[in-house]
Amino acid sequence: MKGLKSHQRNDEKEVEILDFNDKDRRSHRKEPKKRGRNKEYAIVTYVFLTLFICMTAYLIYFMQVKSDDFINNSYNARLATLADQTIRGDILANDGTILAKTQVDEQLNETRYYPYGRVFAHAVGYSVNGMAGAELDANYNLLRSNSFILTRIANEIAGHKNQGDDVVTTLDVSLQQTCYDALGSYEGAIICIEPSTGKILAMVSKPDYDPNTIAQNWDTYVSEDSDSTALLNRATQGLYAPGSTFKIFTLLSYLHQNSQASDFYYDCNGTYTYEGYSMHCYNGKAHGSENLMDAFGNSCNCAFSQIGLELDISGYNKLCNQLLFNQSLSTALKNTAVSRMSLSKDSSKSLIMQTAIGQGETMVSPLHMAMVASAIANQGELMEPYIIDHTQNDGGTIVKQFDPVSAGALMSKADAQTLQQFMRYVVTNGTGSLLNSDTYTAYGKTGTAEFSSNKNQDHSWFVGYAQDANGRQIAVAVVMESVASGGSYAVPATKTIFDHYFAAY
Ligand SMILES: [Zn+2]
């Protein structure tokens, strides 16, 4: 019925236009000069109309797209003006728990208060002496007020500040606390991502700082003679040797380049020597006869050194670039580190052997590794990690919703499913066996990265994900620095995270 009515209306319009044209034609016949002038008017009108449309379109484009970039610049004077007119909004966890708020005393002095102190330090960030974390990512939103219009008018008249919008993050308070505790007294980072959306559920980096006292302690973090790295968010900005977690990339490259990978056989005696350069399995262990899955599950350095030497280097590089090396990461987060991997035809055999097992010159960020695990869990599709879910006014009405954004296929579905099998084998039969559980199914790769000549200190890694029977998933990257050799640190930390995550729901 609706369609019919609109057709009728259109017909009526057409009739009116035809009538008008008829009249016009009649009048032109009588006054030819006026016709010429009308044409000039029409041209001028069209020119102005076009200009007007262009300007309106640009204005809309600027307001929608450019203004956020323009205004969300900490050196921009307009932000200072906004800060003078607005009480900075709250930052909230995914359940509405307050993570940061501005307290105003009777003298109208404003103090930014962070109830959880160090626990959310790097995720929520700070907003004095520059900005970091969610305070930086959502700065513009926190300084904009979408309070009830009459309240804002009343505030303008009375000379009072408006209440800035609140920013609701994707962060989960209890999971964040669990990750914070799991990292313990070690330096390092943990990041948890929901694979189907890219939501960052938890992000911890140590050493950290108390955001409540950061202004008072600023000099101790930034002075020239300070060796503190407390302001560095290792989860997004830290670069580490990936250790054996890099075997995920070496494995996929080998599978791409060898159609006969199922025939792979290696007999590990604990040492592999090529042209005088020797590689050793962890703790000198001899893994014996292995197929490809055993070599991955055992994290056999000897087998993977040999695999590295068999790879076509340009194909290996190309695959790593496809998997986010040597480029900015697709994420809504600001200031993220670029992971590095590059070999060339001229690289020495020893460097190729080291690279294949995650040593050498390769460096990765925990965020990058969590994104790869997330895409494997999500059948190859990478969802861009983000931490701002939505903004709302002081009455709780949603102002802006940030929806999940797909970065497309990081790898094919078939590749993701193959890696799932190998990463599952690490848990069922390999170095990640502590993650066997009745409540969830875990997948991943362990790693121990040597980072200095000090043989007694390594970085301990775990990269992977877990899911339960209901399809709930969580991807993680855990790196713990300077742990004593021989022990497993990142795997037990991951276990507490998975146990908590699947017990909590
Ligand atoms: Zn071995």
In this structure, are residues 418 and 380 in contact, taking their beta carbons and an 8 Å threshold? no
pLDDT tens-digit readout, 243-289: 999 999 999 999 999 988 889 999 999 999 999 999 999 888 999 99
Distance from the CA of 362 to the center of ligand 1, in angstroms? 21
Predicted pLDDT of residue 126: 95
6 pLDDT band, cuts 50/70/90, is very low
How far apart are alpha carbons 494 and 370 in whole angstroms? 13
Q: Give the mean model confidence (pLDDT) for residues 131-157.
A: 93
Predicted pLDDT of residue 5: 40
Distance from the CA of 273 to the center of ligand 1, in angstroms? 12
Structural domain 77-168, CATH architecture: Alpha-Beta Complex (3.90)
- For the chain, the residue count is 505
DSSP one-letter code for 211: G
DSSP one-letter code for 197: T
CA distances from 467 to 301, 361, 412, 471 (A): 29, 33, 20, 6
How far apart are alpha carbons 245 and 463 in whole angstroms? 7
Distance from the CA of 317 to the center of ligand 1, in angstroms? 25
At the top level of CATH, which class does the domain 177-212+230-503 belong to?
alpha beta
225 pLDDT band, cuts 50/70/90, is confident
Give the list of residues 6+ apart from residue 489 with CB closer than 8 angstroms, or none.
Answer: 186, 460, 480, 483
Distance from the CA of 438 to the center of ligand 1, in angstroms? 30
55: pLDDT strictly greater than 80? no
434: pLDDT strictly greater than 90? yes
Q: Taking Cα atoms as reference points, which of 465, 472, 421 lies closest to residue 444?
A: 465
Angle between helices 313-322 and 247-257 (to 10 degrees): 120
Highest-pLDDT range among 310-314, 344-348, 451-455: 310-314
Distance from the CA of 202 to the center of ligand 1, in angstroms? 35
What 3-state class would DSSP assign to 472?
coil
Predicted pLDDT of residue 71: 54
Distance from the CA of 304 to the center of ligand 1, in angstroms? 9
Highest-pLDDT range among 10-19, 54-63, 110-119: 110-119
484's tokens: 């004593």
CA angle 274, 279, 285 (to 5 degrees): 130
How far apart are alpha carbons 222 and 230 in whole angstroms? 9
Q: Taking Cα atoms as reference points, which of 325, 355, 320, 330 lies closest to residue 340?
A: 325
How far apart are alpha carbons 234 and 203 in whole angstroms? 10
313's tokens: 């280097």
26: pLDDT strictly greater than 50? no
In this structure, are residues 162 and 87 in contact, taking their beta carbons and an 8 Å threshold? yes
229: pLDDT strictly greater than 80? yes
295: pLDDT strictly greater than 70? yes
How far apart are alpha carbons 344 and 483 in whole angstroms? 32
pLDDT tens-digit readout, 74-129: 556 677 777 788 999 999 999 999 999 999 999 999 999 999 999 999 999 999 98
Distance from the CA of 353 to the center of ligand 1, in angstroms? 14
Predicted pLDDT of residue 224: 76
Distance from the CA of 447 to the center of ligand 1, in angstroms? 14
391: pLDDT strictly greater than 80? yes
In this structure, are residues 393 and 90 in contact, taking their beta carbons and an 8 Å threshold? no
Distance from the CA of 277 to the center of ligand 1, in angstroms? 16
60 pLDDT band, cuts 50/70/90, is low
365: pLDDT strictly greater than 80? yes
Distance from the CA of 431 to the center of ligand 1, in angstroms? 12
Predicted pLDDT of residue 504: 67
In this structure, are residues 462 and 372 in contact, taking their beta carbons and an 8 Å threshold? no
Predicted pLDDT of residue 56: 73
Distance from the CA of 271 to the center of ligand 1, in angstroms? 7
Q: Average pLDDT, whole number, for the chain? A: 88
Distance from the CA of 243 to the center of ligand 1, in angstroms? 15
